[in-house]
Amino acid sequence: MALSFAKRQNMQAAHHYILLASKIRPIAKYSYVNAVFYLQQKKYKEALFCLKAASNMGAGSAQNRMDILNAEGVCHMQLGDNEEALKLFREVVNAPGLTSR
């Protein structure tokens, strides 16, 4: 349902349903999706909070971890913390064995 509301630009409802899903089953995917919603709204501090939560829950695959790090880099770049952004982007680019960068 959250994705359906996000497509219709009803972000308040999208966040609401993601938070409900997280309460039922707290997994990194829900925090990551919530962060992506915040990125779309240019709410970078909120997105960083969700990305940190997703990372702390365990990203799962190496590709998921790289997706989280990349999104964190975007947030830091938009917030003017270029050093942290570059550090994160370098980690993504230099990750061994990943082909879809």
Could you list the pLDDT tens digit for every one of the 101 residues in the chain?
A: 777 777 778 778 877 777 888 888 888 888 898 899 999 999 999 999 999 999 998 867 888 889 999 999 999 999 999 999 999 999 998 888 765 54
Residue 20: the pLDDT is 83
pLDDT per residue as tens digits for the range 51-68: 999 999 886 788 888 999
In this prediction the pTM is 0.81
DSSP per position, the chain:
-HHHHHHTT-HHHHHHHHHHHHHHS--HHHHHHHHHHHHHTT-HHHHHHHHHHHHHH---SHHHHHHHHHHHHHHHHHTT-HHHHHHHHHHHHT-TT----
